[in-house]
Amino acid sequence: MRKLWTVLALILWFVAPTLAHEEAENGHHHEPHHWEDTLVRRELVMQMVGMGILGGMIGAYMASRRVTR
């Protein structure tokens, strides 16, 4: 029962800002859709490059440890 309350509390905590954001979007201010936003494209590419580099570095480190062992 305690776990259920924790889950519900967490969901509510995160739904509140989402709803607030939705309400703000319903105003007159028009934000570009994500496919129109160049910042979103750049962020997606940057995230992939960053994770690729990090993954490569960790992979290389693990491989070198295996070789030296």
Site for other proteins in 16-45 (CB under 8 A): 17-18, 21, 25, 31, 33-35, 37, 40-41, 43-45
Asked if residue 34 lies in contact with residue 40, where contact means CB atoms within 8 angstroms, the answer is yes
Asked if residue 66 lies in contact with residue 60, where contact means CB atoms within 8 angstroms, the answer is no
Contacts of 25 (CB under 8 A, 6+ apart): 31
| 55 is a contact residue toward other proteins (CB under 8 A) | yes
Residues in touch with other proteins (CB under 8 A):
3, 6-7, 10-11, 14-15, 17-18, 21, 25, 31, 33-35, 37, 40-41, 43-45, 47-48, 50-52, 55
